[in-house]
Amino acid sequence: MTMINQKCLFCGSEYQVARGSYLASQCFQCHSVSMIVEAEKEYNDSHPLAPGTVVPFVVNTSHPAPGKIEIGTVLDHVLRQADTGATNPKDLMGSSKLPMLSVVPMSGLAHAAAAMRYGAYEALRVDGSKGYGPFNWRSVKVLASIYVDAAMRHITKWWDGEDLDKDSLVNALGHAIASLMILLDAIENDCLVDDRPPKGNLPQILDRMKKEKS
């Protein structure tokens, strides 16, 4: 697979996408969507597009984004918008803002909420009481390793065939998401005890392994 460089016209970030005839790609930084034309041909006589032309556009939330999107009628729609000025300037501004909560799968959020409810009100504690209370990690700092272990434990249990946690009867992946959400919230609210080991070189190892395999 041949990769080509793409530069986001909204935030300027650079990333790579797979070469194709017409494809759309979503910026990993600001999540705006651009279309890149790599085919060595013109769209039609009235809209010549040179190879490598990048056209920004706004994708409706019902469109199958993010990722590579095969462009057919979307291209025509984009060009019509450019001709008529039909695109609302606020749409272009809104598509480049962070975060885009409209692209978050609500199913994952629902499972995470079920896990959060269990931890806050139903989980059995050592003293026999139930629940640790909502947002308890904001009152007393928490260890990063506790929630990393919890997330990895739930993910590996799910991968090994356990769909539901035996205590909560909540999807194991919901517990994993909840653990990571707590971890992020603790980071953002300065409630985390960062007990990670000294920084390693895993990215370099993975890059080397990838090159060795290719």
Which of 71, 98, 125 corresponds to the end of one domain? 98
If asked whether residues 88 and 130 sit together in one domain, one would say no
CB-based burial of residue 41 (10 Å sphere; 0-12 exposed, 13-18 middle, 19+ buried)? exposed
Provide the residue range defining the domain that includes 187. Answer: 105-193
Say what the pLDDT of residue 20 is.
Answer: 52
Which residue shows structure tokens 């300037």? 89
If asked whether residues 114 and 92 sit together in one domain, one would say no
Which of 98, 115, 141 corresponds to the end of one domain? 98
If asked whether residues 57 and 112 sit together in one domain, one would say no
If asked whether residues 77 and 149 sit together in one domain, one would say no
Cα 73 from chain centroid (whole Å): 26
Say what the pLDDT of residue 90 is.
Answer: 57
If asked whether residues 41 and 109 sit together in one domain, one would say no
Say what the pLDDT of residue 78 is.
Answer: 45
> Which residues fall within 8 angstroms of residue 50, CB to CB, at 6 or more apart?
37
How many whole angstroms separate alpha carbon 125 and alpha carbon 134? Answer: 14
Cα 134 from chain centroid (whole Å): 25
DSSP readout, 60-122?
PTTS--SS-EE-SHHHHHHHHHHHHT-S-HHHHHHHTSS--GGGS-HHHHHHHHHHHHIIIII
pLDDT along the chain (214 residues), means of 10: 66 67 59 52 44 44 39 45 51 62 92 97 96 96 98 98 97 98 97 96 94 85
Say what the pLDDT of residue 102 is.
Answer: 85
If asked whether residues 58 and 118 sit together in one domain, one would say no
Tally of domains in the chain: 2
| Residue 207 domain flag | no
**Strand (E) or helix (H) holding 202:** helix 202-213
